[in-house]
Amino acid sequence: MSQYAHLSEPDPEFVALQHILPGDRITVDKNPVQLKEAFLKNGQPVVDMLTKGRVSPDSTYTVQDHKVPVNGGEILVRVTSPAKEGTFPLLVWAHAGALKWAVSNADSLHASLDKGLLVGGQSAGAQMAAALALRARDDPFFKDHPLTGQILQIPTVVHPGAIPAKYEDQLLSMEQNKDAPILDARQHHAILTFLGVQATDTSFSPLLAASHAHLPPAVIQVCGLDPLRDEGFLYERILREAGTKTKLCV
């Protein structure tokens, strides 16, 4: 259609910028594998820039992208969450909601609840997994699909300011390993202060739950130089004595 020929003329503003745009022109004298490699090298940065999650500069939210590899590519999971002080309870509620959503949408996720339903995490993630296991045990929503396991890697299970007297002489690693690499005791306390954690809230301190009976089997991993080491040892023993099947990895 000749009446649309003028639409082929680039915008003057684009012409002025065209020479500085990243990426070389990909020629068609290459096979598909070479074309894909060339695109990933030259074109992917532009795609990443266009699809990057953004919030306004004054927003109290942050955006985190997680890429899940699948056959033939990857799935982008974008999480937008509050980034301000005193947000701890919301973090647990969000994870509890996500767990229920996953159960309700198992078919669309190509997941089989008959094969199992596990929660797990590392460090703070392990703390949330332990808290979710307690919540799921008491929530009628999970009556037909109870959790079948929990994986707790180097978990934190009790606030330093809420350690029961009977356990004080068993939780020594926070002091022994106070200068540990990656995350030391000082940083650990600073994070708790920032989040506004309530010391006796079992959402943060699952060790303080009234009962640890009827929980799903647990695999607990601890690291020798970790300030949280003794919490993992103690929680494994508490679960085991309450009748929960456990496996401890050191």
The two structure tokens encoding residue 36: 């894909």
| pLDDT band (50, 70, 90) for residue 35 | low
Mean pLDDT, the chain, integer: 83
> Is residue 56 predicted with pLDDT exceeding 50?
yes
Q: How does 64-87 read in b/e, with b if 16+ C-beta sit within 10 Å?
A: eeeeeeeeeeeeeeeeeeeeeeeb
1 band by pLDDT with thresholds 50, 70 and 90 = very low
- The verdict on 67 and 133 lying in the same domain is no
Shared domain for 66 and 109, answered yes or no, is no
Clarify whether residues 46 and 153 are in a common domain.
no
Shared domain check, 186 and 133: yes
Cβ-defined contacts of 35-38 (< 8 Å, 24+): none
Q: Is 133 exposed, middle or buried (0-12, 13-18, 19+ CB in 10 A)?
A: buried
The verdict on 148 and 198 lying in the same domain is: yes
The CATH number covering residue 199 comes to 3.40.50.1820
CA torsion sign, 105 to 108 to 113 to 114? positive
Residue 37 or residue 136, greater confidence: 136
Q: How far is CA 125 from the centre of its chain?
A: 6
Model's pTM, two decimal places? 0.68
Which domain covers residue 69, as residue numbers?
Answer: 56-83
pLDDT tens, 210-220? 999 999 999 99
Q: What total number of domains does the chain contain? A: 3
pLDDT digits (tens, 9 = 90+) for 181-212: 777 888 888 888 877 888 999 999 999 999 99
Report how far apart the first and last C-alpha atoms of the chain are (Å, whole number): 73
Euclidean distance between CA atoms 202 and 130, whole angstroms: 10
pLDDT one-digit tens code per residue, 100-136 = 999 999 998 888 999 999 999 999 899 999 999 999 9
